[in-house]
Amino acid sequence: MFLKTTEYALRAVLYIARESHEDRRVSLAAVARAIGSPASFTAKIMQQLSRDNRIVCSVRGPGGGFYMTPASRQLPMQAILEAMGEEHLMTKCVLGLRQCSEKQPCPMHEAYQPVKAGLMRLFTHHTIGEMAGEPEWRKRLQQKRRPGLKR
């Protein structure tokens, strides 16, 4: 569906939405560990996500790291795709045809239409904060982070 980069970005933002506040920041290393992406690669992704502090905010120096404001949590999930330059994946033709449209439909257009609509709805109708609200996720990440944890 998405590029690995974008998958990492989605994971990272959801993680930060859970774990951070204005005063409690999470480090790059913590993010990388949590989302299972190499640290220096994660760094590049975080740069895209924190450009202009639009989606996540970043602070350098001791005690620094990343966090999200309440305002950013109100952004639709789509904002993450936009930051990564992959928002077109929601509207793209299944066959990858540029000219495909309602007027000039590809053979799969009609059948794919409801899937596309569902995708768009998924990313436009849900905010980041909303998506980050699931409790199962955090539990699993902690299991993963310390595999040898007893019980």
Partner DNA sequence: TGAATAAAAGACAAAATTATCCTTAATTAT
Partner DNA sequence: ATAATTAAGGATAATTTTGTCTTTTATTCA
Query: Which residues of the chain form contacts with DNA (CB under 7 A)?
Result: 3-5, 8, 27-29, 37-41, 43-44, 46-47, 50-51, 58-66
Residue type, 115: V
Task: Pick from 62, 63, 96, 147 the residue near a copy of itself by CB under 8 A.
Answer: 96
User: Would you give the binding string for a copy of itself spanning residues 2-31, x where CB under 8 A is met?
Assistant: x-x--x--xx--x-----------------
Q: Name the strand (E) or helix (H) holding 149.
A: none
User: Would you give the binding string for a copy of itself spanning residues 56-95, x where CB under 8 A is met?
Assistant: ---------------------x-----------x--x-xx
Residues 6+ apart with CB under 8 A from 120: 90, 91
DSSP 78: H
Which one of the spans 20-28, 44-52, 56-64, 109-117 is the region binding a copy of itself (CB under 8 A)?
109-117
What string of DSSP letters covers 97-144? Answer: -SS-SSSS--TTHHHHHHHHHHHHHHHHSSBHHHHTT-HHHHHHHHHH
Is 118 a binding residue for a copy of itself by CB under 8 A? The answer is yes
